[in-house]
């Protein structure tokens, strides 16, 4: 917003005008939510943390003296709220972090509690302003919420995690990041160096966005649409034909994951796809195409939410499928709660 408008809203908010405060922070909500999500790996935790941060900003508005920008001040409050949340709950991971690939023909282990898993985030919650940016900027933003990157971040100590996000994702200077974390620029640079080493060991050589840049949007959509159609039809050979040789499949909250096209096809063929009717709708999660998976509920006579399939594509083939069996997430994606037959 224009600087003059921001100053007028700030003055009104300091006088106790809640509507003015709402308008003042509205331009920053999406990026602050994305920041909290990167820190926490959970949409629900990010929403709660953002609300806590904005409440703290409202209550502490008189202490904002304008020595830094309003944006920087809001990031300071949100970062500290996220660090507080991290201390209260377990680390979030993906099944790949739990152990080696499993045998697709063996029975499942018991599902682990959902609070241990990274959650998918709808694109529209973090990319609302994308139409105002160029394709390169959009790709960079989407790289910053890719599942592999979010999972790698969760392995960092909390303050290293914050330092890396502030410096590499948000382009804060070492001095600005030091002010947020109440430390020195030298300490920030040291934390950043250690964080880079950990994250680089866990990230693939090529991001999904880099892989997607080699495909036009229509080709990417075609691949995902073909996967959806084959999955709906329980056509395992058609699904297998879309997979890369090194494709990986995971299904939180189940702890197992499967490596390689043959293993994924074997799982879908023996255990994963049965004759129950299913429907899939297109959506987007973590900067990539996704599919909303509905299963048939015989008692209700409708299709009901079951899982979000986050799909990665490389060189014209699907190289990763993360099936988040989290029906409660459908509301966040703006998806229907039921589909009539």
pLDDT mean over 167-188: 95
22-31 pLDDT per residue, tens: 999 999 999 9
* Phi and psi angles of residue 106, each rounded to the nearest 5 degrees, phi first: -90, 155
Q: What does the alpha-carbon distance between residue 224 and residue 17 come to, in Å, rounded to a whole number? A: 47
pLDDT digits (tens, 9 = 90+) for 47-91: 999 999 999 999 999 989 888 899 999 999 999 999 999 998 888
Pairing of strands 257-259, 278-285: unpaired
313 bridge partner residues = 318
Q: How confident is the model at residue 290 (pLDDT cuts 50, 70, 90)?
A: very high
- The string of pLDDT tens digits covering residues 210-229 is 554 556 677 888 999 999 99
Residue 133 has pLDDT above 50, yes or no: yes
Q: What is the 3-state secondary structure (H, E, C) of the chain?
A: CCHHHHHHHHHHHHCCCHHHHHHHHHHHHHHHHHHHHHHHCCHHHHHHHHHHHHHHHHHCHHHCCCCCCHHHHHHHHHHHHHHHHHCCCCCCECHHHCCCCCCCCCCCCCCCCHHHECCCCEHHHHCCCHHHCCHHHHHHHHHCCCHHHHHHHCCCCHHHHHHHHHHHHCCCCHHHHHHHHCCCHHHHHHHHHHHHHHHHHHCCCCCHHHHHCCCCHHHHHHHHHHHHHHHHCCCHHHHHHCEEEEEEEECCCCCCEEECHHHHHHHHHHHHCCCCCEEEEEEEECCEEEEEEEEEECCCCEEEEEEEEEEEEECCEEEEEEEECCHHHHHCCCCCCCECC
184-211 per-position pLDDT tens digit: 999 999 999 999 999 998 887 655 445 5
Q: What is the pLDDT of residues 244-260, one digit of tens each?
A: 999 999 999 999 999 99
**pTM metric for this prediction:** 0.90
pLDDT score at 135? 53
The set of residues, in sequence order, having a beta carbon less than 8 Å from that of 288 and lying 6+ positions away, is: 142, 146, 208, 212, 310, 311, 312, 313
Report the pLDDT value the prediction gives residue 126, as an integer from 0 to 100: 87
pLDDT score recorded for residue 214: 57
Predicted local distance difference test score (pLDDT) of residue 130: 47
Q: Give the domains, in start order, of the chain with CATH numbers.
A: 1-89 (1.10.1740.10), 92-146+207-341 (3.10.450.50)
Q: Is the pLDDT of residue 6 over 50?
A: yes
Residue 324 CA to residue 286 CA, distance in Å, equals: 12
């Amino acid at each position: 917003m224009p600087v003059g408008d921001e100053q007028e809203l700030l003055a009104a908010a300091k006088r106790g005008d809640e509507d003015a405060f709402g308008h003042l922070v509205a331009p920053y909500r999406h990026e602050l939510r994305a920041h909290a999500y990167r820190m926490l790996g959970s949409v629900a935790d990010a929403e709660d943390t953002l609300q806590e941060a904005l409440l703290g900003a409202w209550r502490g508005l008189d202490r904002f003296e304008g020595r830094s920008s309003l944006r920087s001040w809001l990031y300071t409050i949100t970062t500290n709220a996220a660090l507080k949340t991290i201390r209260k709950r377990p680390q979030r991971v993906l099944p790949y972090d739990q152990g080696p690939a499993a045998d697709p023909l063996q029975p499942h282990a018991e599902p682990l509690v959902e609070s241990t898993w990274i959650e998918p985030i709808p694109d529209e919650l973090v990319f609302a302003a994308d139409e105002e940016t160029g394709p390169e900027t959009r790709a960079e933003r989407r790289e910053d919420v890719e599942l592999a990157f979010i999972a790698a971040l969760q392995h960092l100590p909390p303050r290293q995690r914050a330092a890396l996000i502030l410096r590499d994702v948000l382009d804060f200077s070492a001095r600005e990041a030091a002010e947020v974390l109440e430390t020195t620029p030298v300490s920030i640079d040291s934390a950043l160096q250690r964080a880079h080493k950990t994250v680089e060991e866990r990230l693939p050589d090529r991001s999904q966005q880099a892989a997607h840049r080699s495909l036009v949007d229509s080709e990417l959509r075609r691949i995902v649409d073909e996967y959806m159609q084959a999955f709906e039809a329980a056509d395992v050979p058609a699904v297998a034909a879309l997979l890369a040789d090194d494709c990986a499949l995971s299904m939180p909250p189940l702890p197992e994951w499967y490596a390689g096209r043959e293993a994924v096809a074997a799982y879908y063929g023996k255990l994963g796809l049965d004759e129950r009717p299913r429907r899939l709708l297109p959506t987007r999660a973590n900067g990539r195409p996704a599919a909303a998976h509905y299963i048939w509920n015989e008692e209700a006579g409708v299709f009901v939410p079951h899982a979000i399939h986050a799909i990665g594509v490389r060189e014209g083939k699907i190289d990763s499928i993360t099936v988040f069996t989290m029906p409660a997430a459908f509301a966040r994606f703006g998806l229907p709660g039921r589909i009539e037959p």
